Amino acid sequence: MPDLKFSDAEPDDHERALVDALVEQPPVVRQSERVVLGGIRRAGDARHLLLPGLHDLNASRGWISPGGLNYLAESLQVPPAEAFGVASFYDLFELEEPDMPGPRHHVCVDASCALADASGYAQQLRAEGKNVHEGPCLGQCENAPALFIQARSSDPVDMASTGETEQKFNATLANRLLRRFGLVDPQSLRSYREHGGYQALKTAIEVGQEEIIRLVTESGLTGRGGAAFPTGRKWRTVANHDHRQKYVVANADESEPGTFKDRMIIENDPFALIEAMTIAGFATGCTKGWIYIRGEYSTATKRLRSAIEQAYQAGLLGANVHDGAFTFDIELRQGAGAYICGEETALFNSIEGFRGEPRSKPPFPTESGLFGCPTIVNNPETLINVLDIATYGVDVFRSVGTPNSPGTKLFCVSGDVGNPGLYEAAFGLPLHELLEVAGVQIEDVQAVLLGGAAGRFLAPPNLDLPLSFEGTAERGATLGSGAVTVFSKDVDLWSVLVRLAKFFRDESCGQCVPCRIGTTRQHEVLLQIRGTQPNESERVLLSDLSMVMGDSSICGLGHTAASAVQSAFTEGLVGVQT
Amino acid sequence: MFGAGGGTSSYKEVEEADFVLLWGSNARAAHPIYFHHVLKGIRNGGSMYAVDPRRTDSAKFAETWLGINVGSDIALANALAREIIAADLHDTRFIEHSTIGFEAFVEHVEPYTLDFAASATGVDAGTIKDLAHRYATATTAQILWTLGITEHHNGVENVLSLCNLALLTGHVGRWGSGLVPLRGQNNVQGGGDMGALPNKLPGFQDIDDPTALRKFETAYGVPLNPRPGLHLTLMFEAMAKRELTGLYIIGENPADSEADVRHTRDLLRNLDLLVVQDIFMTRTAELADVVLPASVGWAECDGTVTSSERRVQRVRAALEPPSGTRHDHEIIGLLAQRFGVPWPTTSPEHLWDELRSLSPMHKGMTYTRLEQGEGLQWPCPDINHPGTQYLHGWLWEEDLGGHDPAPFSLTNHEGPKEKVTSDYPLRLTTGRVLDSYNTGVQTRGYSSPIRSGVDLEISHLDAKELSLVEGERVTVSSPRGSVEMTVSIKSDQAQGLAFTTFHFPELVDLNLLTNDQWDPLSGTAEFKAAAIRIDKLVGNNRA
Amino acid sequence: MSNKSVSLHIDDQLITVPEGTTILEAAQSMNIEIPTLCWAENLTPVNVCRLCVVEAEGARTLIPACSRTCEDGAAVKTNTDRVRENRRMVLELLDSANDLSQSDNLQELISDYGADSDRYTDPVKTTTPPKVEDDLFVRAYERCVLCYKCVEACGDDAQFTFAIAVAGRGFDAKISTEHDVPLPESACVYCGNCIGVCPTNALQFKTEFDMREAANWRPEEQSVTETICSYCGVGCTLELHTQDNQIVKVTSPADHSVTSGHLCVKGRFGWQYVQAPVYRAPSSDSEQSAK
């Protein structure tokens, strides 16, 4: 770009080599001593490499050195202040040399892990001399307390793979999305094909684009991330756009505390996601897909990377999918520790090499999304539903579930649960039935947090709640991402509330006033009244904060930052004189 | 030219232009707020190419930078023209309707092949061809330039060569397309508008037009000298011949700013009478017999100035001037009274109204109108006229609005007068930096955190050849003189090219080096091209 | 902006505006006042302060008037209880976190809306000592409300220098150079366009800072004169703010077609010679020098 000023800080040889390998088309090209290509647009085209570059640098030394950052910024012509602003946005990046050598051990201290004595676990690791960081949910709630070891490229290989844990899933209530779990070899395209893989794409190509969109629309499939937007409508809008470039984005930045379904989909059946995205691309005329996956999901990332590579080799991705039927590429991007990047527009900014701050909507992604182009964003669970819809049709898809919530849903059950894990169930199942199957002693339940941190608490009288969009909506609850976190009667709910408030305070991007300051004040107030009964003015204060965050924040993070806390009051779980 | 006298386009147009060709201008540093408009254009999807011997801060914003040899502008422009014609990208209807001399022009540029231009400019033929095609096929295109075009011995021909490109492609006379020379001071344009040119009366009326002359004589009540006067360079020549022995200088500092400044200072010293009217005790003022302390035009006086988009704007007094200083118009008025001419003590508005009565292009610009809004762009012939956003719209009118068709000009590539030789093997060129201004008398007053001083910037290749290191003090010599300077080594500077600023004459008497070869049409000296030599300091190492 | 127009109700009055007009612009044209903080007419709306929220029929949450464009058939209310309560809370949150004492506009709004930041016990605040790194300007980030205006002005809304950006996250997010290096080491070119847009005086001229320190800053005695900058031929309008016959700071009107409110280092700061006696003193043997 322009008259940027870079510092004199130099990268080491390894950092230099990493950046050089990353930037294949540099924004400034010295064609000769007298001709140089440059300018703003070329710099803009290269900027999406910033996030992968930061990952490479951070993995190289366990932190991002000033020399490395400066060299990356110069190579991409990103202003150094902006490169610093982006790097400092993410939890997984260190900008100062760590006091302690060795990989960073992230221990989750959110609800389910806290119940499993996460702080004791962290203390134990510290005692072993590990570099420990206590942080938000790692999406391994079924194996609490969860640990993620952020390995450096110099660390031994087995270190990097400690993220692999026991796969706990249960398909006794329904078995569609979990069909291949445990049967298919997630690292083998051949195995995927032997288990029915790529039949759906074949069918899709046979019936054509219009028909696929019609099927998805009539199936009644809606988004499984929480907002439940009709998938067919998104696809239709993007398909209708006559834009030079359109994108499909798989949002696998699953960060809602208590949620781990998309990680398990990718770990167990990665080709299903690739196939479903390919169908989306085919149906809507998008020639490029992006998968944005949580930075903490190392096993899933590894498997996905291998699956994408195999799909390319088999001609199932690339310029001639299915012998020239169409073009579809997939690029993988890793998040770096920021809950907010699961918000679709923050996710775009993150991919594009900007801070993961949500954009204002409208314009919606289907009009102006990634790189300003019409974009479909769906999460992996939503996408893989398309495979069955394409293969078996609308009637079969709608044969389970409720009329307004057809099909099945994945539930991530954790906390005070006998058999934590991933459960598939037809929509409409009463909550207590799910809990019983998961080995919960219903009479011991103090509360269930449905939908993660952004969700709501349910008190025992509400455990008959039907698990459908309409069923939850009727009682002012939300399915959210399908996180079901169970708290038994001996849990101190105040601690849970304080931690929830801390989570939002830590994860607010800081962009808008209601959320930046509101989440901070909410946490402060809860800390002050913790263990006591809130007085009237404190109740009013919390309620005012809830109002301004809910009404006036830019995005869903702020809108829901007080929901769980407020629901604990309205359900009578806390704050009642006994 | 086709009757100009001012930039054709409004700033707003560059925000919407499809293609911008920045040629010999480091507007990022010299015209920063104009460059904001350029940047808006780029942000809006426009493209910019830059032609400049140096990859300046401005050129870094360009999609493509063409680093031509100093003084090879005409070779490039003519080759662009030839390529546009050869590729059949010229606007034949426009040419036929609005121009004359096309046939001769085609013949004239025939020798300017891409290969010829490549060897003359140092830029490869493919890039030149690319530029020709981008400019010609753009829906709207502007050429912007500054002193990199005009401060040459053939600066006027350089300008004409750029005008040819606009005529060839129809990139003039309509919204978004045009030719924009950026003015260096807040009232260069206004000075010309007011007749501070040797051959013009206010409003660009010719002094040898008897009707115009009579109009002014009647208004002023005195006979006027009908002969064109001398431009600056000719004045110095006349001083050298002792034909001119008295000089009244208002707000100029030639003892620092002229090329070959030692010669200039000798001439000023030899005058019988030198009167200097200035806000500072400049080096020129120090040579004067009489100094008339003036107030600061833009902060202590009322009046008007005219910008690069021909916008007449009000300046206003915000401060009481220091005691003992007077407004320029007041000093001149009082002098006139001492000379026995009964000029009334008068206000700027009164003077302006007198101008309006004599200059048709200013007639509609009353002070009341100038006070409201943002000023007015000339021509503004009557009080209901909104002012003119772009010039030469007549080129697109059915009957050319009664004008003669615009002529193509035949220009020849010569290169700088002063050739580099084995004695003086490096090319020195000069320019502005962001935080300083001209000879520095106005910018020395604030402490800029980004002030870089007055280093001689050279290519790392030349540094290697001359065994020079960063920060080394050296002797820099041209055929006219020598100064001591500090070397700054640049990795992206062309070999053989040296650059410095002229803002710090108190530190380095740079114009001892510069070349006073001047353009016979404009009188501008060739500041942009001297030949120099760098010698290591004898018996002294690093500073 | 297209040629199409849309009609909507704002506070029960019907108005027709060109498509693309924001609710704020439409309201302004009807003389309906909507408070703003992060909005400026010379910058792209970022809608982060949320002070301009209004209520639109059918919308679940409030919407920012500064960036939301008018939709045909919409019904917008700019001053309902819900709107006022939300604005009151936004002001209260800001006041609880920052020193807003040098922002008259916010002080007025705080009292108008009855915002009471004393409700919070020991709230964490933004506390950073003023950064005085050069002779031209001062950055006092304890007053920074993170409105992004300076970042926009330094970036692609005007200057394209990108010397500053937002760094960090959440409550700890702040305006920063890379690694928080001092401004003179950064890419800053001292155009001062960040000062020009700062709504809370977190960024200010060194002259103003020094005069405030010396208890000599008297805005009520200052006058503003428009003139034209002398440092090149572009013709930038300067607003010279003067006190005691001295220029104390320089701005440019945000709605001016030449500058859009933005200047360069020379126009913003280069005026000092005018009032520096050492430069202006007529020579010693002149009769006026007696003064």
pLDDT along chain B (543 residues), means of 10: 68 96 94 96 96 94 96 97 98 96 98 98 98 98 91 88 97 95 84 89 92 93 90 89 95 85 91 94 92 92 92 94 90 90 83 94 95 91 94 92 94 91 91 78 80 86 94 91 90 90 73 74 77 83 43
User: Shortest CA distance to B114 belongs to which of B77, B63, B59, B148?
Assistant: B77
Q: Give residues with Cβ within 8 angstroms of B118, minimum separation 6.
A: B124, B125, B128
Using CA atoms of A290, A294, A297, A299 in order, give the dihedral in degrees to the nearest 10.
10
Domain boundaries, chain B: 11-181, 188-306+311-377, 426-536
Contact C156 B188 (CB under 8 A): no
Q: Give residues with Cβ within 8 angstroms of A219, minimum separation 6.
A: A232, A385, A389, A394, A397, A398, A406, A407
Strand, coil or helix: what is A232?
helix
Strands C75-77 and C53-56: antiparallel
Contact C22, C67 (CB under 8 A): yes
Q: How far apart are CA C223 and CA B532, in angstroms?
A: 52
Top CATH class of A189-398 equals alpha beta
Q: Which residue has the higher pLDDT, B187 or A219?
A: A219
pLDDT of residue B525: 73
pLDDT of residue C290: 28
Strands B99-100 and A104-108: unpaired
Contact A518 C164 (CB under 8 A): no
Structure-token match 């799909």, residue found: A311
> At the topology level of CATH, where does A493-570 sit?
de novo design (two linked rop proteins) (1.20.1440)
Q: According to CATH, what is the number of the domain A408-488?
A: 3.10.20.600
Q: According to CATH, what is the number of the domain C5-79?
A: 3.10.20.740
Provide the chain C residues 156-175 that lie in CB contact (below 8 A) with chain B: 156, 158-160
Taking one residue from A and the other from C, the number of pairs with CB-CB distance under 8 angstroms is 166
**Cβ of A44 under 8 Å from any chain B Cβ?**
no
**Domain C131-278 = CATH 3.30.390.10:** no
For residue A475, name the pLDDT band (cuts at 50, 70, 90): very high
Digits of tens for pLDDT over chain C (291 positions)?
A: 467 999 999 999 999 999 999 999 999 999 999 999 999 999 999 999 999 999 999 999 999 999 999 999 999 999 999 999 999 999 999 999 999 999 999 999 999 999 999 999 999 999 889 999 999 999 999 999 999 999 999 999 999 999 999 999 999 999 999 999 999 999 999 999 999 999 999 999 999 999 999 999 999 999 999 999 999 999 999 999 999 999 999 999 999 999 999 999 999 999 988 887 655 655 443 333 222
Chain B residue with the nearest C-alpha to that of A29? B64
User: Shortest CA distance to B248 belongs to which of B216, B294, B202?
Assistant: B294
Q: According to CATH, what is the number of the domain A104-149?
A: 3.40.30.10
pLDDT of residue B438: 73
Give contacts of C271 with chain B, Cβ < 8 Å: 299, 446
Burial of A172 from C-beta contacts in 10 A (0-12 / 13-18 / 19+): exposed
User: Shortest CA distance to B532 belongs to which of B415, B422, B414, B416?
Assistant: B422
Q: What is the DSSP string of C139-200?
A: E-GGG----SHHHHHHTTTTT-----EEES-GGG-EEE-GGG--GGGSS-----HHHHH-SS
Q: Give residues with Cβ within 8 angstroms of C68, minimum separation 6.
A: A360, A362, C22, C23, C47, C56
Provide the residue type at A140 as one letter: Q
pLDDT of residue B432: 82
Chain A residue with the nearest C-alpha to that of B69? A34
Shortest distance between the Cα of B63 and any Cα of chain A, in A, equals: 5
User: Shortest CA distance to A390 belongs to which of A211, A535, A156?
Assistant: A211
Half-sphere exposure of A180 (CA within 13 A, CB side): 26
User: Shortest CA distance to B14 belongs to which of B396, B380, B389, B379?
Assistant: B389
Contact B127 A33 (CB under 8 A): no
Contact B117, B125 (CB under 8 A): yes
- ipTM comes to 0.94
Ranges in chain A annotated CATH 3.40.50.11540: 189-398
Q: According to CATH, what is the number of the domain B426-536?
A: 2.40.40.20
Q: How far apart are CA B212 and CA B192, in angstroms?
A: 17
Strand, coil or helix: what is B262?
helix
- The chains in contact with chain B, meaning 3 or more Cβ pairs closer than 8 Å, are A, C
A484 has which bridge partners? Answer: A413, A450
Q: For a pLDDT cut of 70, what percent of chain A falls above it?
A: 98
Mutate to test the interface with A, among C55, C125, C178, C180 (most CBs of A within 10 A): C178
Residue B294's φ and ψ, nearest 5 degrees, are -115, 160
pLDDT mean over A524-532: 89
Q: Which two tokens stand for residue B19?
A: 């293609």
B525 has which bridge partners? Answer: B518
Q: How far apart are CA B255 and CA A132, in angstroms?
A: 70
Shortest distance between the Cα of A79 and any Cα of chain C, in A, equals: 6
When CB atoms are compared, the residue of A40, A80, A513 closest to C94 is A513
Give contacts of C177 with chain A, Cβ < 8 Å: 80-81, 84
**Cβ of A372 under 8 Å from any chain B Cβ?**
no
Mutate to test the interface with C, among B12, B13, B33, B42 (most CBs of C within 10 A): B33
Helix axes A536-552, C81-97, angle to 10 degrees: 100
Q: Which two tokens stand for residue A562?
A: 């007080």
- The DSSP letter of residue B68 is P
Burial of B244 from C-beta contacts in 10 A (0-12 / 13-18 / 19+): middle
Give contacts of A1 with chain B, Cβ < 8 Å: 60-61
CA-CA distances (angstroms) from residue C228 to A360, B305, B444, C236? 38, 8, 20, 6
**Cβ of C265 under 8 Å from any chain A Cβ?**
no
**Domain B11-181 = CATH 3.40.228.10:** yes
Give contacts of A33 with chain B, Cβ < 8 Å: 67, 122, 494-495
Cis check for the bond before A362: say yes or no (omega within 30 of 0). yes
C174 has which bridge partners? Answer: C167
Ranges in chain C annotated CATH 3.30.70.20: 131-278
Contact B127 A1 (CB under 8 A): no
Ranges in chain C annotated CATH 3.10.20.740: 5-79
Edge-to-edge strand order for the sheet containing B273-278? B246-250, B273-278, B290-293
> At the topology level of CATH, where does B188-306+311-377 sit?
Rossmann fold (3.40.50)
Contact B511, B263 (CB under 8 A): no
Mean pLDDT of chain A: 94
Residue A81's φ and ψ, nearest 5 degrees, are -65, -40
Structure-token match 């420990």, residue found: A132
A443-467 confidence digits (pLDDT tens): 999 999 999 999 999 999 999 999 9
pLDDT of residue C114: 97
Strands B406-407 and B99-100: parallel
pLDDT of residue B541: 47
pLDDT of residue C285: 39
Edge-to-edge strand order for the sheet containing A147-150? A131-135, A104-108, A147-150
C6 has which bridge partners? Answer: C17
Taking one residue from A and the other from B, the number of pairs with CB-CB distance under 8 angstroms is 60
